[in-house]
Amino acid sequence: MMTSYTKPLPIINDDNRQYWEYCKQHELRMQQCNDCGYIRFPPGIICPRCHSMAAGWVKLSGRGKIYSFVVYRVSYHPSYADDIPYVVAVIQLAEGPRMESDVTGIKVEDLKVDMPVEVYFDDVTDEVSLPKFKAVS
């Protein structure tokens, strides 16, 4: 199926395929080490803390807060030209990991570090649902 989505898409590989499959089901899941319990992101075959290769996929709450963010006022990719100004944020998830994403539904002037956010999923193509975040009170 042709898509009108023109922004860059994630490159899906053997390490992250399961992560994106869960996103498609609108579940934010990350790998949790079976040996030390550490929840890691991005996906990989080995625990960076204890080097165990045994892991499962734990469902996260989807809640977190803004750890840091930048506001882009110049489009460095033509597909973002209509979105300026837009945000790239580092989200501190409640369960520990940090991830980069959008924070939408709020004026960039109103964004603040430590602002609570919650995940939602944007079905940008038939194959890819992107985890994005919205501010919650």
Query: Which residues are at the interface with Zn ion (CB under 5 A)?
Result: 33, 35-36, 38, 47, 49-50, 52
| Residue 50: CB minimum distance to Zn ion, A | 3
| Residue 133: CB minimum distance to Zn ion, A | 27
| Residue 44: CB minimum distance to Zn ion, A | 11
Nearest to 60 by CA among 34, 85, 26, 90: 26
Q: Which amino acid is at 62?
A: G
Q: Based on CB atoms, which residue is closest to Zn ion, 50 or 71?
A: 50
Q: Based on CB atoms, which residue is closest to Zn ion, 31 or 101?
A: 31
Q: Based on CB atoms, which residue is closest to Zn ion, 33 or 119?
A: 33
Q: Based on CB atoms, which residue is closest to Zn ion, 93 or 119?
A: 93
| Distance (Å, whole) CA 21 – CA 131 | 12
Whether the CB-CB separation of 9 and 123 falls below 8 Å is answered with no
| Distance (Å, whole) CA 19 – CA 130 | 11
| Residue 54: CB minimum distance to Zn ion, A | 8
The torsion angles phi and psi of 109, rounded to 5 degrees, stand at -65, -20
